[in-house]
Amino acid sequence: MAGPRPVVLSGPSGAGKSTLLKKLMKDYEGVFGFSVSHTTRNPRPGEEDGKDYHFTTREKMQEGIDNGDFIENAQFSGNMYGTCKSAIEDVQAQNLICILDVDIQGVKNIKQTDLNPYYISIQPPSIEILEKRLRDRQTETEQSIQDRLAAARADTELSKEPGLFDMVIVNDDLEEAYSKLKSVLMEEIQKVQDSKK
């Protein structure tokens, strides 16, 4: 795939990936593009089809997976999630750094492809803090919170696997975490900015 080197961002729900991404995209407007994932779950309030996710049916998504259209896919809480190759190519064709927000299984799947992204894991300072963040959202059922915490424990363990990530950032201080994230991506950011001059 041509274009700037993509970024695979992973980490448990509630670790602060979205907050860091929004900050990055605001500070470097016109540098990053988001690969919009597909999902079979229902939209949450305020989510838009094609912007937050491509909301689809289980049948359609399975057909795409069977056809090899997806670079990674996973199931979580009874729903399917995945990244379509064309979603990444669309972003790269605009000379933008494509950001993929995937779970740890997605990271392992992408490792089997020729994508060659930067792999960055965003981790919470502790499971207790993560639980508080998830509860403060007030968007999750108790079962969903328990599922997410179990997934987070596994994710935290797997993120320690040598060579899986180029960088693991513990998000206990947002500014510090953001500074580390920027430092990893600065070379790629410069390239995109220079090419637009």
Residues assigned a catalytic role: 44, 137, 148
Query: Shortest CA distance to 156 belongs to which of 118, 184, 116, 129?
Result: 129
Does residue 53 sit in helix, strand or coil? strand
DSSP code, position 41? S
- The beta-carbon contacts of 14-17 under 8 Å, at least 24 apart in sequence, are 14/124, 14/130, 14/133, 14/134, 14/137, 14/148, 14/152, 15/122, 15/123, 15/124, 15/130, 15/152, 15/171, 16/122, 16/124, 16/133, 16/171, 16/174, 16/177, 17/101, 17/122
